[in-house]
Amino acid sequence: MGVSRHPYSSSLPSWANVPIDATAVARLRASFNAFSADGSRLASIFYAKLFERYPGVRTLFPADIRAQEVKLMDSLKAVVEHAEADPKLIEALKALGVRHVKYGAKPEHYPIVCDLLIESMADAAGPAWSVRLAAEWRRALEIVSRIMLAGAASHESSTH
Ligand code: HEM
């Protein structure tokens, strides 16, 4: 008898099991360094796409988006610098998730933000982009989102 596939395995996205091991972290760091060589260009591509496709969210953000662009770059930097499950990073991401409840971020917004970030990274990286980098960034952002949402959920349950 042949080995059957788990019925749910085919519904898992291809990046779901991409390991964020030491070599992946090294590639994410190099990729981030290349983005930050252009200042906050990546973040500015991202917000331009976000506000063009979802004009309704513009009012959630400050009128002057430049400071926000720097904050987004700083948070990506913290993620790649402390990617080895640093407890301080996890606490900081949980607190970031708690602040996002007040900003109006809903769990269903996170995949949209991750998709747009990956798309912006592909634009910003040009020929340096690869299928492997896309999968590793996606997996890293999925982990970040999950930690932020866990922080938000535990805060909600402790205040209600
Ligand atoms: C990968 C996920 C995300 C990361 C890493 C991230 C990162 C950040 C950072 C670093 C800030 C600066 C303010 C602070 O530190 O508290 C911020 C602000 C903000 N984020 Fe996010 N974010 C994420 C997802 C989202 C989502 C899903 C939304 C949904 C709409 C969102 C909406 C906002 C808004 C509206 C602000 C501006 C708050 C203000 O200054 O008034 N973010 N984000």
Question: Measured from the CB, is residue 103 less than 6 Å from ligand 1?
Answer: yes
Tokens of 54: 């979802």
pTM of the model: 0.89
Separation of CA 24 and ligand 1 centre (Å): 25
Average pLDDT value for residue range 152-157: 84
8-state DSSP, 35: H
Q: How far is the CA of 10 from the centre of ligand 1 (A)?
A: 32
User: Quick one: pLDDT at residue 32?
Assistant: 97
Distance 137 CA to ligand 1 centre (A): 18
Q: Which of 132, 153, 122 is nearest to 19 (CA)?
A: 132
- Does any ligand 1 atom lie closer than 6 A to the CB of residue 147? no
CB of 99 closer than 6 angstroms to any ligand 1 atom: yes
Which residue among 28, 32, 53, 96 has the greatest number of ligand 1 atoms within 8 angstroms of its CB, and so is best to mutate? 96
pLDDT, tens digit, 9 for 90 and up, residues 51-60: 999 999 999 9
Q: Is 77 in the pocket of ligand 1 (CB under 6 A)?
A: no
Query: Average pLDDT of 31-42?
Result: 97
| 145: nearest Cα among 79, 59, 57, 86 | 79
Statement: residue 49 has pLDDT above 90:
yes
> Mean pLDDT throughout 17-32?
90
Domains and CATH numbers, the chain: 19-159 (1.10.490.10)
Q: Name the closest-CA residue to atom 6, ligand 1.
A: 72
115 contacts 141 by C-beta, under 8 angstroms = no
pLDDT of residue 12: 62
Region of 12 please: left (phi>0), alpha (psi -120 to 50) or beta.
beta
